Every structure is written in structure tokens, then in C-alpha cells.
Chain A
Amino acid sequence: MTEQSLLTSVAGYGLRGGGVLADEPLSEERWGQLLSNVRAERVVPQLLHAATDGAITCSGEQMRDLEQAQLDAMAHVLQLDHLLVEVASILESSEIRFRVLKGSALAHLDYSDPSLRCYGDVDLLIDQTRYADAIEALGDVGITRRSAEVSPGFDSRFGKGTTLVTDVGYEVDLHRMLVFGPFGVTITPEELFAREEGFIVGSTPLPALALEERFLHACVHAVLGSARPRLIPLRDVAEIAFRDDLDLALVHRLAVGWNAASVVAAAVTTAWDTFALADAIALSVWAAGYEPTAREARALRMYRGRRSWSAQAIASLPVIPGWKTRADYTRALLAAAVRGRYTRDRPRLSTGAP
């Protein structure tokens, strides 16, 4: 088994059935590489699960390394949850609507145990009408922008989101929309705020997207969040897809309304292929048979391989409502290009940490 296929098998471990991944301890070199890879892909809990089940045989020392890695990972997510509660309190006291996205929300709502999901930052969807207020309110307590705005007012009108950092380097991603580019414009934020599902961190209740919206966001993040789909977002897609209470009719209605049916199909088929999931469920059958239109295929290609932020930005133009807004958007992009800020902001806009 190659390093990549072992990593992929670890990332998908426990989704359906078990299976043996390694029946004798790996060499020190391979073990070191595997541990480094699972840390980078944030699938330490899945490796621990496989090792505890005996699906991967570890020496005593390797098991101790792994247990320490899990302890480190969980200490980190607890610090992030603590930050999340603090940020939520600030937003609530400013009466700014938000939804918790990705890591913490998925860990608490979609995994059988929150200890099975690692994450690296705090992600929040912010009410677009109060976006600038949210940045200001958090700035007042020392949680500040990591990089300059592309042009004054750009974030509140056109940006996907902004990364803020605390004094000790933890990141808070404030999302104005779920994804940059053409798909971002067709997913209407008001619909994302129409419903919610709550979860509790410590003793603090927090709002997340409702289940079907959360699933669609997992698909969007898995397929459009990075040039090559990352393992943990794909696992998120599979975890939610296997839930018995996922309302497929609602998923379909939302996906069609957001012009994102091709994204859902791509996310599900990629998850099924990546983790070699044998189970055919209604969603995977539908996804396997989905034929994207030429326009959908073009839009999907824009997010893959050597992604161009400017190409995504320009592709958004036809779907931005109103000629004046389109003109303002173009002017802001040109001004940013002239000032050379594309380059600095591109990593933020074109990659999505899980």
C-alpha cells in the first residue's frame, strides 16, 4: 500500500465496516511519515480508531506517539471551542446574526463523537448586512484582520470572507458567503439563515446551519474549497450522507435553487470513489448518474487544478444581479489588481482549510 493510499484508507476508516490496513507495525520511517500525514490532513482520530480496532498494528512506542498526537489535537480543538464561545458572545451582544460553520459544528452534530473530528480554526457565516460591524466588534477585543482589505468596502460587498487572528495566532474565518466565484453568488445567504440547528459547547448553545444546508456546505467545501479535494471535507460529506434523517428532497430543492446540483453530485461521487465506499445509497446512485451541463462543467473546472482567483472573480460577473453592482465589482477588482493586492489575498480566497 502506498503512503497516499494508506492515508486515504485511514481517513475513511470506520465509515462503513473496518478492514485491515496494516497487519504488522510499520517501519519507523513509514510510521513517522504516516503520523506527519495524518496530522497535516487532520485525521489523527481516524488513525487512533483504526489502531484501537486492531486494523493497523502498532508497536507500543508507536501507540504512545499516536495517543500523544490525539491529546495534542484535542487540546487544540478545545482552545478553538473556547475561542468560538468568546466570539459568539461578542457577536450576540452586538446583535449580529451568525451560524457556526465546518469544524466545531460538524464535530458536535454529525460525528458520533466530537473527538473524531479535528479542525484548525473557527468558521462563522455572518449576516451580510452586519459584516463590517462584526469585523469591528471583534477588532475591539484584539481579534484583527490578517491582511488588508482588497479595496475599501470590498469585503462587505463582494468578498467571500476575511480571516482574523487572535494575539496567540488562532484564526477566525468570518464568511460572508460560502464560496468565492460563480457558485458563491447563487447561494443566497438569507436562505442559509432561514433555519438553524443548535449545539452546545460547554454550557453555551450555538447556532449551526440546519442539516440539509450543512450537507450542501460540506459538498461545496469539499469540491470547491481547494484545487484538489482534501480528505476531511470528503469524510464530512460521507458522514452526513449516511445519516438516516437527511431529507433528500430538501437537499435536491436547495441544490437546484442554488445552481449547485453539480457540486453535490461531484462531492458525493468523489467521496465514494476516494474512500471506495461499496454501499449504494439513494444519494450516491443519483450522484453517479448525474450529467453536468456544459456550463456546470465549465464552472466546476474553474475551481480545480491551477485555480485562478481572477478567473473565478470574472466568472461571477454574469450571475451578479444588476449592471451597477457588476460595474462596481469590476472597478473594485481592477483597483485591487493595480495595487497588487490580488497576490497577497489569493491564498485566502483560493484555499479552504478544513
Chain B
Amino acid sequence: MSRRVPQGVLLLAAEGGDPVVLSATGEVAWRALDSPLAVTDLAGLLADAFGADPDVVGRDVAAMLDDLAARGLAEVS
């Protein structure tokens, strides 16, 4: 579950716990993940949106998804 906040997007896992704020790139990624997406596609989308190096974005996306998965906020398969 989520809410839009000035800092980005506020997320709470289905299991509860403390809410987490995703800002800037994270928020765009979260919106894109409304439907399942390949990690490489998500990285490409963000690289385009922010005019960044796809390799660098790819590594950041992988780390972010691992973090979200560990908090129960995303599933990575």
C-alpha cells in the first residue's frame, strides 16, 4: 500500500512494519512497477527518464529491488 507524499512515495509492506519513503528515481520506478516489468526494461526506462548511464542505473535498480524485496514491498523473480 502506498501514498503520495512531498518527499516521493510512502510505502507500507503487507506484513506491516515501518513505512518507507522512496524519493525521485525510486518513485518513478515504483509507479512503473504497477505491472510486472523486467529489471532491464525498468533500468532502461529510468535511464531514459533521467538521461543517465544505463549500466549505472541497472546496478542501482538491482540494489533497490533487492532492498524492496527484503522489506516485502516487491517480488523479484
Which residues of A pack against B, CB within 8 Å? 48, 52, 66-67, 70-71, 74-75, 77-79, 81-82, 85, 113-115, 201-203
Does B12 lie within 8 Å of A71, measured CB to CB?
Answer: no
CB closest chain-A residue, reference B3:
A74
- Give the bracket for the number of chain B residues in contact with chain A: 10 to 19
CB closest chain-A residue, reference B16:
A82
Any chain A CB within 8 A of the CB of B24? no
Does A74 lie within 8 Å of B10, measured CB to CB?
Answer: yes
CB closest chain-B residue, reference A201:
B1
CB closest chain-A residue, reference B10:
A74
CB distance from B22 to the nearest CB of A (A): 13
- A113-B4 contact, Cβ under 8 Å, with A78-B12, A82-B12: yes
Does A115 lie within 8 Å of B1, measured CB to CB?
Answer: no
Using Cβ atoms and an 8 Å threshold, which residues of chain B touch A82?
1, 12, 14, 16
Taken together as a complex, chains A and B put the C-alpha atoms of A78 and B4 apart, in Å, by 11
Among A48, A74, A203, the most chain B Cβ lie within 10 Å of the Cβ of A74
B2, B5, B14, B16: the one within 8 Å of A71 (CB)? B5
Using Cβ atoms and an 8 Å threshold, which residues of chain A touch B6?
48, 52, 66-67, 70-71
1/0 contact string of B17-47 vs chain A (CB within 8 Å)? 0010100000000000000000000000000
Does B7 lie within 8 Å of A71, measured CB to CB?
Answer: yes
Does B10 lie within 8 Å of A71, measured CB to CB?
Answer: yes
Does B1 lie within 8 Å of A71, measured CB to CB?
Answer: no
B2, B3, B7, B12: the one within 8 Å of A67 (CB)? B7
Decide if the interface of chain A is mainly helix, strand, loop or mixed: helix
Does A115 lie within 8 Å of B4, measured CB to CB?
Answer: yes
Beyond the given pairs A79-B12, A113-B4, 19 more chain A to chain B contacts, judged by CB atoms under 8 angstroms and listed by A's residue number, are A52-B6, A67-B6, A71-B6, A71-B10, A74-B5, A75-B10, A75-B19, A78-B1, A78-B2, A78-B10, A78-B12, A81-B1, A82-B12, A82-B14, A82-B16, A115-B4, A201-B1, A202-B1, A203-B14
CB closest chain-A residue, reference B19:
A75
CB distance from A133 to the nearest CB of B (A): 25
Using Cβ atoms and an 8 Å threshold, which residues of chain B touch A81?
1, 12
Taken together as a complex, chains A and B put the C-alpha atoms of A67 and B16 apart, in Å, by 23
CB distance from B72 to the nearest CB of A (A): 11
Using Cβ atoms and an 8 Å threshold, which residues of chain B touch A71?
5-7, 10, 21
Taken together as a complex, chains A and B put the C-alpha atoms of A115 and B3 apart, in Å, by 6
Using Cβ atoms and an 8 Å threshold, which residues of chain B touch A113?
4
Taken together as a complex, chains A and B put the C-alpha atoms of A67 and B63 apart, in Å, by 27
CB pairs A–B below 8 angstroms (8 shown): A74-B5, A78-B12, A79-B16, A79-B19, A82-B1, A82-B12, A113-B4, A203-B14
Taken together as a complex, chains A and B put the C-alpha atoms of A114 and B7 apart, in Å, by 16
Q: Which 3 residue pairs across A and B have the least CB separation, nearest first?
A: A67-B6, A74-B3, A78-B12
Using Cβ atoms and an 8 Å threshold, which residues of chain B touch A74?
3-5, 10, 19
CB distance from A60 to the nearest CB of B (A): 13
Using Cβ atoms and an 8 Å threshold, which residues of chain A touch B7?
67, 71
Using Cβ atoms and an 8 Å threshold, which residues of chain B touch A77?
3
CB closest chain-A residue, reference B1:
A202
Using Cβ atoms and an 8 Å threshold, which residues of chain A touch B19?
74-75, 78-79
CB closest chain-B residue, reference A66:
B6
Using Cβ atoms and an 8 Å threshold, which residues of chain B touch A78?
1-3, 10, 12, 19
Taken together as a complex, chains A and B put the C-alpha atoms of A81 and B16 apart, in Å, by 10
Taken together as a complex, chains A and B put the C-alpha atoms of A286 and B16 apart, in Å, by 46
B4, B10, B14, B21: the one within 8 Å of A202 (CB)? B14
Taken together as a complex, chains A and B put the C-alpha atoms of A202 and B19 apart, in Å, by 13
Using Cβ atoms and an 8 Å threshold, which residues of chain A touch B14?
82, 85, 202-203
CB distance from B75 to the nearest CB of A (A): 11
Does A70 lie within 8 Å of B5, measured CB to CB?
Answer: yes
Using Cβ atoms and an 8 Å threshold, which residues of chain B touch A52?
6
